[in-house]
Amino acid sequence: MNSMEQLSDTDLGQAVLLSQLSGKPVNVVDNVFVWNGTIMDKATAIVVLLKAYNQVPINNNVTLSLYTKYQKTFEKYADSGVYVSVYQGEADVQAMSRMWLSKIVKRAKGSIPTLTPESVKQILISLHTV
């Protein structure tokens, strides 16, 4: 049984509430996190943290890889409020992946405009220890 099969609605709901109250990513199971009500894996959480608070430029190939993995991993949550989707129009996949990253960064960042370097460091440490 993989971690997505172990994920219950109750666990997800509790993680959503905790993440919205703390403004930090909350581990649900294994490699699955919820951050400000948005479900994501560990790699996405790290990229979002670096993009949102350190303004680290993210390569298009990395963005596309995260987007593709996100769609496959979390497709069963596509109709819920924890999933981040983008309009599947005429845009190419690269453009959709950039829109997706922008949207997921905004949702994860929430109403917290900045974090101290120490807070960013603590979040990174907590993401790596799971």
Torsions phi, psi for 32 (to 5 deg): -110, 130
Query: Which regions of the chain are under pLDDT 50?
Result: 1
Residue ranges per structural domain of the chain = 3-113
Sheet holding 32-35, edge to edge: 26-29, 32-35, 38-41
Paired tokens of 128: 């790596």
Q: What is the pLDDT of residue 1?
A: 43
Q: What is the pLDDT of residue 6?
A: 61
Paired tokens of 78: 């596509």
The dihedral through the CA atoms of 36, 40, 41, 44 has a sign that is negative
pTM of this prediction? 0.84
Cβ(82)–Cβ(20) below 8 Å? no
Paired tokens of 39: 């479900």
